[in-house]
Amino acid sequence: MEAEAIRDLLARAFPDAVELAVEDRTGTGDHFQVAVTSATFDGLPLVDQHRRVNAALAASLADGSIHELRIKTKGTP
């Protein structure tokens, strides 16, 4: 899977994101690190922030095109 495809999915799920980074950690197209900073996360516990990122990428997680996903989320100051 292309990092760009993941970026699009996240951009659609978090249109107000002030930071959105996707990195193919191993160059194998299935281990990704994503970082999202959005006001959507303000006041949410970490587990709920990550739930929303998992939901945005649910199909790719389910079909295995994402084998490993590392997530970093932040609210806005």
Partner 1 sequence: MKALREQIESVIKEEPVALFMKGTPQMVMCGNSSRALNALHAAEAPITTVDILPDPRIRQELSALSGWPTIPQVFVKGELIGGADIVEELLDSGELVQKLDGALGSDRPREVKVVALELG
Nearer to partner 1, 21 or 71 (CB): 71
Q: CA 20, 65, 55 angle in degrees (round to 5)?
A: 50
- Provide the minimum distance between the beta carbon of 31 and partner 1 in the complex, in angstroms, as a whole number: 9
Site residues for partner 1 per CB under 8 A: 46-47, 50-51, 54, 58, 61-62, 68-72
Nearer to partner 1, 28 or 70 (CB): 70
* Both tokens assigned to 11: 């951009």
- Provide the minimum distance between the beta carbon of 77 and partner 1 in the complex, in angstroms, as a whole number: 17
